[in-house]
Amino acid sequence: MKETKERERLNAHYSNQKDWLKWGPYLSERQWGTVREDYSPNGDAWNYFPHDHARSRTYRWGEDGIAGISDRYCNICFGVTLWNGKDSILKERLFGLSGPRGNHGEDVKELYYYLENTPSHSYMKHLYKYPQNKFPYAKLVEENRIRDKDEHEYELLDTGIFENNEYFDVLTEYAKADGEDLLIKISISNRGPKEAPVYLLPTLWIRNFWSYGGMDEKPVIKKAKGKARSFVSIKHAYVGDYQLYFEKPSKLLFTENETNREKIFDDKNDHPFKKDLFHDAVIKNDYSLAKKKEEGTKFAPLYKLTLKAGETQTIKLRLTKETLRKPFDKNFEAVFSDRKKESQEFLNGITQKSTKEQREIQKQAFAGILWSKQYYNYDVEKWLKGDSMDILSPERIYGRNSHWKTLRTHDILSMPDTWEYPWFAAWDSAFHCVTLAMIDPDFAKQQLLLFTKEWYMAPNGQIPAYEWNFSDVNPPVQAWAAIHIYQIEERSTGKGDLKFLKRMFNKLALNFTWWVNRADRFNKNIFEGGFLGLDNIGVFDRSSGVPGGGILEQIDGTSWMALYCLNMLEIALEIAIKDDTFEDMAIKYFGHFVFIAEALNKLREGALGSWDEKEGFFYDTLVLPDGTSLPIKVRSISGLLSLAAVLNIRKETLDKLPRFRGSMEWFRKYRKENAMYEVMEEYSPNKDVLLSLVPRKRMTVLMNTILSESEFLGSHGIRSLSKVHEKPYTIHIEGTNYGIEYEPAESQTDLFGGNSNWRGPIWMPMNYLFIGTFKEYHNHFEEDLKFQFPSGSGNYLNLKQIGFEISKRLIGMFEKDKDGNRPIHALHKEKYTDEHFKEHILFYEYFDGNNGRGVGASHQTGWTALVANLIEEINRAKK
């Protein structure tokens, strides 16, 4: 890892020399419509706190804004507010449709891009595109309301609002002169053909604790004394005192960050200075009330700008602990220049072998995942009880998440998507950390460890899934992520963090036990699990009870647990080389893996198994109350997951751990004598040992299936459902027909909100998992195992080469073709060849299984940021 100024900042931070991460992009992009803000009796989060309330109603658990920042506990917040002179409200936060309003669930209806960010947030750049004409709020709501599930979502670009380029580019940049000295530039460019006005309100406000009885001394933002002084002071008991300096504005506006009860609840206000005062003042051009105050808990300098066609104007601000006479002297620009340069040096050090285009993809992927670090506060016990100002119903006490009273979050978390999913999802976060490990391994380790802390993990060992239902079950990929983070850091620094592995291992052992006790109710080593993150992949909702009162023995549940075993085994082996007390645990996980492999492959008495010899595929099995079993013959990514449970143990490792080797050989001999599944088919005492959930014969069948373009292999990656289901699959259970068919893009169902789809699209995390699987097989077989790529093509490649070819297909979705088009932007090709759009990349939740078009959440540089890892891995292999 190349030493740079940015790396020096990170080293100083993590060695507790200087707190470089006190301030960052931690302000949420959507606080309304979340479970945390929902105090309704029936758990109707979207309608209890809708977008229309957000400008007038105080949040309880956080704040939100555009291109915003805050301290790590969201006490003091800063964001960009705009008005084009035509809208009925200020553009203070991003607009989007709630889950019930969208034809494919919740969806942000804005255009914005994360262009740059460093791990210490020493330099950050955000672009928002703001229409000059009236924002089409009603049109977006109505058109999406009347659209069916088989139609695309109606996006902002579809409304025509950007025709003739009548919009502003609003570029927000931050540069840190020090840990608590933040320089800010907001540059607005008129991209239209004629002069246009715009109002800019860089807004500073304080999160409201005082209304809920949680603060003894109310904070204050106060105007500086003297006519020539362009700054305000902030006094806050929790984070100390700051100054916000700004260039001379048209007006100074003050109010309180408090609910307008008259507007929201038809109740009487105790004073007129409420959260939404700036909306009334600016839009009605009546500043009489806002100018009366010279202090408050919400403040904005108002700039009335008029920009000629093509013109850019920049406003400078500075949020700092320091008292400065000249906050915008030549040093201001020098700091910006230095931080930009240092940001590029840091990026270059990580992407040395990337092409120019690949480096830009990685740059924006890293920017997105760093901008997605947001403050998340949720104390379930306190939330269930409510606050004095809330009118609560007794139903809430036994409602959503009521069994999670020990969960108390007050942390910076990596969000899946900053608007659509502004809450953690346990398995998403694990994938995020694998990308974060490339740029900030310390944060990646801290993030993964968080989910094992006692204020997250339940006393019984369960890891919370996501805020809509903490008790739901996400795939157990934390151990997989831990070993990947360890290896990435070891490659980049030359030293792996064994202490981190030990901490993860000890806590994950509790979670593993929870899984075994919870999801293997008949002790057959065939697992259930329910939802398991794959939303609508089943013929019925796997989390809402099984038809006929039966039990669904899930191939993906069993495969995830086999992979979990091998991940824990790999961690134990790595630690045991230095600490042989971990050999016992390695033996334990090896044995458990053997039993799962036997059960899945129907090679042990009493086990049902899931393999269909005739069709060459693993299927879920429905076990009815009378004991009869029924295979659910869906050819989905669930049936392929068995391939992922594979581990090649190096001979050098076995030589260092003779006790483990001896136990493994005894176990092998004993199981073989009793005619059990041979998990070490390729065993030789003088070679590496391959542990595989799938026997080689079946693995070969599955590989030919996954590499078939008529089934799973698409032009841009591996699909989540086979194309054979273009002809729908149906099954009759207890008088009801259930079915599934290949849907390559948007979901055609309402399962889990209808905004995600696992019935055909390409998903980056699963592809990344399979690519790693192919490499692991290749580590053992090398040139002795090859497959046709694609199946039937006559083009034989080894598994490492196949992994690279699939990586190239995935990366290709983000690259320009000869006409300058990126597959991800297929619906709006013309706009994305425009000079002010063409370099901006959206990182979608998933991708059309036929053409690679981006679908779902549009800022999921959560796990879609894994494309940056793929680029690094294929370039590293070139050497």
Q: Is 412 helix (H, G, I), strand (E, B) or coil?
A: strand
Among 128, 181, 200, smallest CA distance to 339 is for: 181
DSSP lists the bridge partners of residue 186 as: 172, 315
* Model pLDDT, residue 391: 57
The answer, yes or no, to whether residue 519 has pLDDT greater than 60, is no
Question: Where does the pLDDT of residue 684 fall: very low under 50, low under 70, confident under 90, or very high at 90 and above?
Answer: confident
Helix locations, 608-650, DSSP H: 637-640
Which pLDDT score, from 0 to 100, does residue 606 have? Answer: 41
Other Cβ atoms within 10 Å of 108 Cβ, number: 21
List CB contacts of 372: < 8 A, sequence separation 6 or more: 114, 414, 415, 416, 417, 418, 432, 859, 861, 862
- Residues in CB range of 357: below 8 A, 6 or more apart: 815, 816
Per-residue pLDDT at 756 exceeds 50: yes
pLDDT of residue 228: 59
**Average pLDDT of 801-816?**
98
Backbone angles phi and psi of 607, in degrees to 5: -95, 145
Question: What are the pLDDT digits (tens) for 226-243?
Answer: 655 699 999 999 999 999
DSSP 487-552: HHHHHHHS---HHHHHHHHHHHHHHHHHHHHHH-TTSSS----TTTT-TT-SSS-TTS--GGG-EE
Q: Tokens 């690519």 identify what position?
A: 771
Query: Percentage of residues in the chain with pLDDT exceeding 70?
Result: 93
Instruction: Output the CA–CA distances (angstroms, integers) from residue 627 to 549, 591, 806, in the order listed.
Output: 11, 28, 42
| pLDDT tens by residue, 275-326 | 999 999 999 999 999 888 999 999 999 999 999 999 999 999 999 999 999 9
pLDDT class of 604 with cuts at 50, 70, 90: very low
Q: Is 194 exposed, middle or buried (0-12, 13-18, 19+ CB in 10 A)?
A: exposed
Amino acid at 4: T
Q: Name the helix (H) or strand (E) containing 652.
A: helix 651-656
Return d(Cα 211, Cα 801) in angstroms, integer: 61
Report the run of H or E that residue 431 belongs to, with start and end.
helix 426-439
The pLDDT score that the predictor gives to residue 385 is 86
pTM: 0.96
Strands of 76-83's sheet in order across = 23-24, 69-71, 76-83, 196-206, 298-307, 251-255
Cα separations in angstroms, 479 against 89, 97, 451, 587: 47, 36, 12, 17
Q: What is the mean pLDDT of residues 463-468?
A: 95
Residue with the bigger pLDDT between 390 and 789: it is 789
Please give the radius of gyration of the chain, using alpha carbons only, rounded to the nearest integer: 28
Q: What is the mean pLDDT of residues 791-812?
A: 98
Average pLDDT value for residue range 140-152: 91
Q: What's CA 421's distance to the chain center, in Å? A: 8
**632, two tokens:** 């659910």
Any residues with CB less than 8 A from the CB of 429 and at least 6 apart, and which? 413, 414, 416, 447, 448, 451
At residue 528, the pLDDT reads 58
Please give the average per-residue pLDDT across 345-367, as a whole number: 96
Per-residue pLDDT of 830-878, as tens digits, reads 999 999 999 999 999 999 999 999 999 999 999 999 999 999 999 998 7
Q: Is the dihedral of CA 531, 537, 539, 541 positive or negative?
A: positive
Listed in order, strand segments (DSSP E) in 263-372 are 295-296, 298-307, 312-320
Measured CA distances, 794 to 120, 391, 708 (Å): 50, 69, 12
Bridge-based pairing state of the strands 611-612 and 617-618: antiparallel
String of DSSP letters for 44-59: -HHHHS-HHHHTTS--
**Residue 461 reports pLDDT greater than 80:** yes
* Residue 436 near residue 366 (C-beta atoms within 8 A): no
Q: How confident is the model at residue 81 (pLDDT cuts 50, 70, 90)?
A: very high
Give the pLDDT confidence score for residue 609 in this predicted structure: 54
Q: Which two tokens stand for residue 810?
A: 């995935």
**What token pair was written down for 145?**
């309301």
Tokens encoding 533: 């993150």
Pick the closest to residue 871 from 379, 350, 210 (CA basis): 350
Hey, which residues does 21 pair with through a beta bridge? none
Q: What is the DSSP string of 689-756?
A: EEEESS-HHHHHHHHHHHT-TTTTEETTEEBSB-GGGGS-EEEEETTEEEEE----SS-SS-GGGGS-
Cα gap 846→826, rounded to integer Å = 14
Query: pLDDT confidence of 349, banded at 50, 70, 90?
Result: very high
Residue positions counted in the chain: 879
Cα separation of 576 and 867, whole Å? 33
Task: To the nearest 10°, report the CA torsion of 206, 208, 209, 213.
Answer: 140
Least confident of 349-363, 671-685, 814-828: 671-685
Dihedral, 683, 689, 690, 693 alpha carbons, nearest 10: 80
pLDDT above 70: residue 692: yes
- Over range 531-560, report the average pLDDT: 71
Instruction: Compute the distance between CA of residue 814 and CA of residue 344 in angstroms, rounded to an integer.
Output: 21
- Across all residues in the chain, what is the average pLDDT? 92
Q: For residue 739, what pLDDT band results from cuts at 50, 70 and 90?
A: confident
- The residue behind tokens 């409602």 is 399
Poorest-confidence range of 131-145, 722-736, 793-807? Answer: 722-736
How deeply is 499 buried, as exposed, middle or buried, from its count of CB atoms within 10 A (0-12, 13-18, 19+)? exposed
Tell me the C-alpha to C-alpha distance, in Å, between residue 259 and each of 28, 264, 465, 529. Answer: 19, 8, 32, 43
Look up residue 517 and give its two tokens.
Answer: 């006790």
Of residues 756 and 861, the one with the higher pLDDT is 861
Over 80: is that where the pLDDT of 358 sits?
yes
3-state secondary structure (DSSP) of residue 658? helix
Instruction: Look at 146-150, 584-588, 734-738, 813-817 and tell me which has the smallest mean pLDDT.
Output: 734-738
Mean pLDDT of 512-541: 68
Q: So what's the pLDDT on residue 754?
A: 61
Instruction: Give yes or no for a contact between 660 and 587, defined as CB atoms under 8 angstroms apart.
Output: yes
Q: Is 637 helix (H, G, I), strand (E, B) or coil?
A: helix
d(CA 362, CA 115) in angstroms, rounded, equals 11
- What does the pLDDT read at residue 537? 74
Residue 603 has pLDDT above 70, yes or no: no
Distance, CA of 71 to CA of 547 (rounded, Å): 49
The amino acid sitting at 758 is W
pLDDT at 500: 98
Q: What pLDDT is attached to residue 543?
A: 59
Asked if omega into 202 is within 30° of 0 (cis), the reply is no
Segment 394-440, tens digit of pLDDT: 788 888 999 999 999 999 999 999 999 999 999 999 999 999 999 99
The pLDDT of residue 534 is 66
